[in-house]
Each structure stands twice: as structure tokens, then as C-alpha cells.
Structure 1
Amino acid sequence: MKSYDTLSQAITGLQKEGYTEDLNLQKNHIECKSLEYQILPNEFEVDLIYRFEGDSNPDDSSILFAISSKKYKIKGILIDAYGLYSDPLNAEMINKLKYKP
């Protein structure tokens, strides 16, 4: 797995690898607004995960997921906070977003 120093470098690198869709995390699915898809946990895979810490503020922590879906034939990027500021998810989504290399 390639290493990145910043979130913006990771986004640029993954876009070059074909992860072009902007994905949003919902309680029980991932949303791709541009294509109007609601992708359920059994319809996507977590390909890579990158975590980034804020330089001086732990509140700036974020996590980037490289996600693919064979069903919808897309690859995209999902960015979320982690820790105290992460979004509430159902158990199926929590389990799915655990990276299993």
C-alpha cells in the first residue's frame, strides 16, 4: 500500500488510480450522489484505508476509504472523521468498514 503524508495527496493519488466518485457515508449505506446510487454493505468493498491526524489538533483526524463496487462498476473515495466526531453507523456498516487485507 502506498503511503501519503496528507489527505490531499491521498485523494490525488487515488483519483489517478481510478477512484473518481465522491462517496458519502450514511447510517446503513454509502451514497453516490452524482449517480444517485445507495450502495448497501454487501454491494461494495473497502480496498484501502488511510488515517490522517491533525498536526496540532486531534479534532482534525480523518479517515479516507478507497471503495469499489462491482455491482455499480464504480470506484470512489469516502472521507469521514474518526473517533469522537465520526458519524453513527449501524452494526453492518461498522463491520464492513473494517479493513481486511
Structure 2
Amino acid sequence: MKKDEQNATLQMPTLLDITNKAIQDGYTENFKVASEGLTNDKEEKFYAPHDVSIVNFHRFEGYSNPEDSAVVYFIETNDGLKGLLIDAYGAYADAKQSNFIREVEGIQKHIKKNIKK
């Protein structure tokens, strides 16, 4: 492994880092998927897949245990709520959440590149 690759690996953000940054950026809702659709902790309103956009997502893989794999989705609703949905990845994924995410048409991935000269 080249030295630059090794440093990049050591500097990968954690799920906690990403979550804290998302909260600072206004993604304060803790979303979950119920049988009625996507909702927050208060369950005041439910959203269908066409009511939400996934503006970014990050996948984390456990180094030694597949149970540590997760995906965090940055979600915005059509009425302005912003929050996160965290799901296991792979064999441990929640089928209800995975099915909901597959139905969301507005899904984007924003990649920030750190380029050193």
C-alpha cells in the first residue's frame, strides 16, 4: 500500500463524524420507516417514497464484523424536514427500510474530493 493510500484510509470519517456533521448542517430529524411510510420519532406525519429525496448517503463497512456495516441516508422531505435514516448494510439490512429506499426516485451522491498538490 502506498503511503498516500495508507493516510487516506486512516483519515476516513466514522459514522459518528458523518452524523455530527449532518446535524450541524441541519439534518436533525431521526427518520425511520414504518408500515405507513417514512416518519420521524414523533410519528406525526408519514411520507411516501415520492415525498422524499435522498440528497446524499455514506456506506460504512465493519473492519472485522459484518454486523458493523451501515448506510446513512441524508433525507429531505417535500415539506422541508431534513434528517437521517441509518440502516444496516448487506445481510443485516432492514427489509422494510431497504424496500422504501429502492422506491425513492430522487437519490443523489455528492462526493467531496480532497486534492493535494
TM-score tier by shorter-chain length is 0.7 to 0.9
The structural deviation recorded for 1:35 is 5.4
Q: Which has the higher strand share?
A: 1
Find 1:80's aligned residue among 87, 94, 114.
87
- Mean CA deviation greater in 31-40 or 50-59: 31-40
The structural deviation recorded for 1:13 is 0.4
Q: Secondary structure at the match of 1:55?
A: coil
Percent identity (aligned): 29
- Mean CA deviation greater in 88-97 or 47-56: 88-97
| Structure 2 alignment gaps of length 5 or more | 1-10, 110-117
Query: Distance between the aligned counterparts of 2:65 and 2:23, measured in 1?
Result: 27
Q: Secondary structure at the match of 1:39?
A: coil
Q: How many aligned residue pairs are there?
A: 98
Q: Which residue of 2 aligns with 1:69?
A: 77
Find 1:22's aligned residue among 18, 30, 50.
30
CA RMSD of aligned residues (A): 2.5
| Structure 1 alignment gaps of length 5 or more | none
What are the superposed Cα offsets for residues 46-99 of structure 1, whole Å, 9 maximum, x if unpaired? 00010011121122100000000122x200000000111111238564131783
Query: Distance between the aligned counterparts of 1:61 and 1:97, measured in 2?
Result: 24
Opposite residue 89 of structure 2, the aligned amino acid is Y
Q: Secondary structure at the match of 1:34?
A: coil
Q: Secondary structure at the match of 1:33?
A: coil
Q: TM-score, normalised by structure 1?
A: 0.81
Report the structure number with the largest CA radius of gyration.
2
Larger RCO (alpha carbons 8 Å, 6+ apart): 1
Query: Distance between the aligned counterparts of 2:86 and 2:41, measured in 1?
Result: 14
